[in-house]
Each structure stands twice: as structure tokens, then as C-alpha cells.
Amino acid sequence: MKIVEIQFLKNQPMDPSVRQATQGSQGTLDDFNPFADKNNTQPAPPPSRSTIPAPQPAQPPASQPAIMTPSEEPPPYSAVGAQKVDTSDLQRRQEELERKAAELQRKEQEMRDMQFKTARQNNWPPLPKWFPIGPCFYQDFSVDIPLEFQKTVKFAYYLWMFYVFVLFLNILGSLAYLVASPSSGGSTFGLSLVWFFLFTPCSFICWYRPLYKAFRSDSSFNFFVFFFVFFFQFCTCVIMCLGVTGFTVGIIGGIGTVSTNMAVGLIMIFIGIFFALVSVITFALLVKVHRIYRSTGASFQKAQAEFAQGVMRNETVQNAAANAAAGAARGTAQQYGSNNRY
């Protein structure tokens, strides 16, 4: 077979492509072994040197470039022509915000320190240093009272001062009534002194300070104390406004005195109008504080719990309870010993 093939090739013209294909296929057929092991790990024989070259991609025409070149070159970058952004204003605002944040943080820390500080220097009433009696209470609306309730507490403080002023006017009106009617004005003038020296400190301690403490610490118990005492003051102001003879000067007593002494009667009516104004403002403040109290979700049970906790934390109550428990234990021990003796 090979001889016939070689003879045939000799008779054919010597075409280089035909000769190359014939030689490549001949080498491949001679080296092929169909019974070789498929799992043979020996490397495959190197490929034949005569390979058909891969087709080359078509080249674009020489007249048309692949990438369009710009007609004009961009101008070179320079720092002088760059836009300058003025950041001085932004930096100044940033520094101002940081300064305000630091100031706010400092104030919050001071308020926190003042709140947890056990002993604070009293500043009310503002008495001079040479006075033998010092201040008895600490009062600072900006530190103790939340911002949304400061106006309400300040208004209550101004109402207390106005109430004290009206009580002082009641003394002057009672003195004028004593001069005009010595027989029946003595008791009224004496009671006016009692009302002034009694109601002035009691109103501050019994309803203003509980209101101050209630808004300072959100205390339901102090709210209830304020409501009870403040309502009592409202009733008292209504009675003083009427001016019952022998109790205080007011509208009724002034009308009865106008016939005998017009000036004194008008003074008494004027003081009665002041007491009526105090009554109206007192009722309005009572309603306002009650609305705020109900909006906070407080209740009578919460006030009872606060009262119980306050009583149990009191050192006097704790000592009394301990002494009572010790006495009961000693009595039980003595009784048990006497029973065993018999």
C-alpha cells in the first residue's frame, strides 16, 4: 500500500501544500495506537511541526484610523486658572457650632452635678450676709425646672408675691376700719395681722414649694399636696373678697361702711376687689396645673407609692420602727422565758 502511494506521489507534481498535508497525516497515522491505556499518565507526544496557521483578523483600511484624534489639543492645566472655593465662612460656622455644642454639654453637666449634689447652698430668701438668719431654701428655675414648665412655676411665684402684697393691704384697710369704727374694727385688725404672719410663710411652704418640687422631680405626692392646699387658699380668698364683718375687710364690709365713712368704705371695697382678682388667678392656675398633671400620666396610686417610699427612707421613721421591733422582740423573749420557768 505504501509503495503504491509513494509511486503515486512521485508521478504527481510537487505541490508544497499537498506534500505538507501528506507528511503530517502519515506521521499521525503511524503514531496512533487504539489499544493504548486511557489512564496512561505519560504526556502526549509533541504536536507536529507542520501546523496550519490561524486566520488573521482583517486589518482596517490604511486611510481610516481606528481612533479619532481631536482636532485641537486641550489647554494645559494650571493652578492659577482653577476655581478657588472660599471655605472661611463654612469653617467659621463649624467652629461656632462646636463652641455652642461644648457650651451646651458643659451646662448639662453642671445641671447634672447640681441635681445629684447632696448639699446645695440656700439662696432664698435673699438676705444680706450680716443678717442673723440665713436663707432657708434653694431656688433656681433654670437649673431645677424643665424648660417647658419654667413659665408656670415663675407665674406661681409671682402669684404668691401678689398674694402677700394683698394681705399687707388688708392690714392697712383693717387699720383704717379700726380708726373709723373702733368698736368693731379691733377684731378685724387683729385678724388681719394673724392672716399676714400666718398665711405668708404657710402659703410659701405649703403650696408653692410643693409645686416647685413637683415640677422639679415629677412627684405625684407634691402635686396632691399643692392641689389640696391651693384649693383651701382659693376658698379663703373668696371669703376675704366678700369681707364678712369681724373677719376681714372686703366688698360687703366696705358697702356697709360707705354710709358712715366713704373713704374707708372705698378702701375696703378696693381691697375686696384685689382678693377677688387673687381668687380668679388662683382658680386659673389650679386648672392649668391640673391639666399638666393629668397629661403626665400621674395617678393617686403613684402618689401613695412615693409617700410610702419617702416615709420608709426617713431616718426618724426608720429609728422608730427599729426601736419598736426591738421592744417587741424583747417582750416576746421575756414572756417566753417566764412561761418556761413555770
Most distant pair of Cα atoms in the chain: their distance: 171
**Position 322, amino acid:** A
Q: First vs last Cα of the chain: how many Å apart?
A: 145
Instruction: Give tens-digit pLDDT for 106-115.
Output: 877 777 666 5
Residue type for position 8: F
The b/e string for 179-218 (b: 16+ C-beta within 10 A; e otherwise) is ebbeeebeebbebbeebbeebeeebbebbbbbbbbbbbeb
DSSP state of 45: P
Give me the pLDDT at residue 243, please: 85
Q: Which of 319, 328, 184 is nearest to 248 (CA)?
A: 184
Q: How large is the angle between the packed helices 150-180 and 220-242, nearest 10 degrees?
A: 30
Please write the tens of the pLDDT for every residue from 139-149: 999 888 988 99
Q: How far apart are CA 173 and CA 267, in angstroms?
A: 6
Angle, CA of 118, 120 and 123, to the nearest 5° = 155
Give the angle subtended at the CA of 64 by the CAs of 59 and 66, to the nearest 5°.
65
Contact 257, 180 (CB under 8 A): yes
Q: Tell me which residue has cell 405649703.
A: 206
How much is the pTM? 0.58
**Predicted local confidence at residue 45, as pLDDT:** 53
* Mean pLDDT, contiguous 10-residue spans, the chain (342 residues): 49 54 50 53 51 54 53 58 62 86 81 61 86 87 89 96 96 92 87 94 95 88 91 94 82 89 92 96 95 73 57 50 60 61 54
Report the Cα 236 to chain-centroid distance in Å: 39
Q: How far is CA 254 from CA 102, 119, 242, 249, 268, in A?
A: 61, 50, 9, 7, 5
Render 49-114 in DSSP notation, one character per residue: S--PPPPPPPPPPTTS-SSPPPSSPPPPP-TTTSPPP--HHHHHHHHHHHHHHHHHHHHHHHHHHH
Residue 48: DSSP 8-state:
P
Prior bond of 70 cis (ω within 30°):
no
Per-residue confidence (pLDDT) for residue 181, from 0 to 100: 86
